[in-house]
Structure 1
Amino acid sequence: MLYLTLRQFEYVSAVAHSGSLSAAASQLNVSQPSLSVAITQVERRLARKLFIRRRGAPVELTDFGRDYLAQVEEIISLARQLDDPARNQRATAGRLTLGLFEDLAPLHIGRLLNALRSKLPGAEIRYRIADFETLARDMLQSRIDLAVTFDLGLDASFLRRPLASIQPHALMRVDDPLAGLQEVSLRDLGQRALILFEEGLSVRHVLGLFRRIGAEPVVRHRVQALEVMRSLAAHGDGIGITYAGSKSSCAYDGTPLASVPIAEDFAREPVILACPLDGAKSAILNPASQAIVEAFSRE
């Protein structure tokens, strides 16, 4: 809890610069007794004297008071900046925070940051990588302006713009009987032990695909990282299912890995560009959104 207020800081500054309580009271449009009480309250809170007050003589700062005044005026200056709507609009107009779902980030972050910096020269571009729920919360709390994600965990509070439609892949050992197929069906995979991501919405989504065909597969592993999934799958410890494709045909340790597309059309999942409804008014979002859409169209 803060015991001293910004108004009390203004009182300290006014008295220090005017050299008298009466002049400061007139400047602040308060009574001299009220000002005197406020200064006394500050000094009691600090357990130090800020001013030397003598009858018939100008008010003087103590040595401690001089140091304290410098800090007080920094706070007042910052508060005035924060209270200036025009300045705040200028400050945020040149800054953008992009959110990326954690499985999509490794595939797209470098290209998207380059596209944004090219489209918005001079703007400060930030990014945040997170799970579905964190992305949604941070957009609603204005920590993220735009997010590249799957359309999972978002309600009617968000605008959506489609970017791509991704077919999931099954990851497995290169000598697995399914590895030589052009496509693999969910029904075939439903008989195998699976490796899924730990993220709740992701697990429910994938298991929901199997429920559509009446299958209840066994989940052997739930992992947090794609490379962990790829390593387990490459060594035959289950079939990984991911929407985060990779151009590498080997796991992180160099073991060969097969990646086979899943055949069912209903398993495809849209990648979207999302932003909160009230965030769409920001001037920087339109060119930023266009840069991201163009980057996906060039894939």
Structure 2
Amino acid sequence: MDIRQLKYFVTLAEIGNFTAAAKQLNIAQPALSIAIKKLEASLELDLFHRNERKITLTHEGEVLLPHARLVLQQLNDAEIAMAELRGLEKGEVRLGVPSMLGSYFFPEILMGFKSQYPNLKLTMVEGGAQSIRKMLIDGELDLGVIINHNVPEALATEHLLTSQMVAVVGEDHPFAPQASIDFKTFFAQELVMFKKGYFHREFIDRVCDSQQLQPRISFETNLLPMILNIVRRDFAISALLEMVTEHEHGVLPIPFEEPVYLDIAIAWRKQGYLSLADRAFKEYVKKCCG
């Protein structure tokens, strides 16, 4: 088993087709087939179910896949570390952020960092809490902004800021004059919520479980502008970070009677390698939040 075989194996497992995988790897399809057969022969195991339309992993292949990915990640980390010893930088920061923070909190930080490090590339991916955590663990992201709750063992975190989660209603909604709202009243209303997998939805589900309440979710979306438009038109109300209402017209924040504060942290893989660029960005974000 060598690195080249593992790379071919992972690519084929992810794409599920010899022709497409060979094209991505920039090799001939027969060469890919031979390499996979050699890998299976060396392991004395079948790694793929083969049929005309789709290649799928056997149980043995599913067991090998996370180990193969980890080996390739560690090799990439080693190459970055050795390059930096020669005075080079990775030159890219791959960051995952939740939608609300990506829209209102991070643009200025990203522009400020870019002005200090103009030669570095910044790649920002917006996603739900679950997908960001998974992408960090899988090595698809270097850094991720997450809620510091139920953090997987594979990730390390540092606190960035604390933000309040509030009920959000339209300016003409009957609740608009209220100074606060209790959970029972809130969850009895028609709600527009992010889909499952977003930290906003995790908060909602957690409160409902603890209070034994059944939410009336009328709309589900992963699009923040759609949530805001639905709230503005009084079709439903929602719960968002208070910072959203500071930047958006036509909506008002109402704190919950039991205030909800979220611990927002920056996370990375414990076993991963943070490049000079990653470390510089992490320290810059902490300084901005301090």
Question: Following superposition of structure 1 onto structure 2, how do residues 117-132 of structure 1 map, counting pairs within 5 Å?
Answer: 117-132=114-129
AA aligned opposite 1:257: V
**Structure 2 unaligned runs (5+)?**
1-21, 23-27, 33-78
- Residue 112 of structure 1 aligns to a residue whose secondary structure is helix
Q: Corresponding residue for 1:168?
A: 165
Q: Corresponding residue for 2:145?
A: 148
Determine the C-alpha separation between the residues in 2 that align with 1:277 and 1:107: 28
Residue 176 to residue 189, structure 1, CA distance change in 2 (3 Å): same
- The equivalent position to 2:256 in structure 1, one of 262, 274, 283, is 262
Question: Following superposition of structure 1 onto structure 2, how do residues 70-109 of structure 1 map, counting pairs within 5 Å?
Answer: 86-87=82-83, 92-109=89-106
Deviation at 1:227, TM superposition (A): 1.7
- The equivalent position to 1:282 in structure 2, one of 267, 271, 275, is 275
Determine the C-alpha separation between the residues in 2 that align with 1:84 and 1:264: 47
Paired-residue identity, %: 13
AA aligned opposite 1:261: P
Q: Corresponding residue for 2:130?
A: 133
Q: Corresponding residue for 1:296?
A: 289
- Residue 168 of structure 1 aligns to a residue whose secondary structure is strand
Determine the C-alpha separation between the residues in 2 that align with 1:275 and 1:128: 15
Range with bigger deviation, 151-160 or 232-241? 151-160
Determine the C-alpha separation between the residues in 1 that align with 2:130 and 2:187: 28
Q: Corresponding residue for 2:10?
A: none
Structure 1 residue runs of 4 or more that deviate by more than 6 Å after TM superposition: none
| RMSD of Structure 2 on Structure 1 (CA) | 2.9
- Residue 152 of structure 2 aligns to a residue whose secondary structure is coil
What TM-score do you get using the length of structure 2 for normalisation?
0.64
Residue 137 to residue 180, structure 1, CA distance change in 2 (3 Å): same
Please tell me whether residue 190 in structure 1 is matched to residue 187 in structure 2: yes
Range with bigger deviation, 221-230 or 90-99? 90-99
**Structure 1 unaligned runs (5+)?**
6-82, 251-255
Q: Corresponding residue for 1:230?
A: 228
AA aligned opposite 2:285: I
Q: Corresponding residue for 1:214?
A: 212
- Residue 200 of structure 1 aligns to a residue whose secondary structure is coil
AA aligned opposite 1:225: L
The aligned length equals 215
Deviation at 1:187, TM superposition (A): 2.7
Residue 287 to residue 88, structure 1, CA distance change in 2 (3 Å): closer
- Residue 269 of structure 1 aligns to a residue whose secondary structure is strand
- Residue 268 of structure 1 aligns to a residue whose secondary structure is strand
Please tell me whether residue 200 in structure 1 is matched to residue 193 in structure 2: no
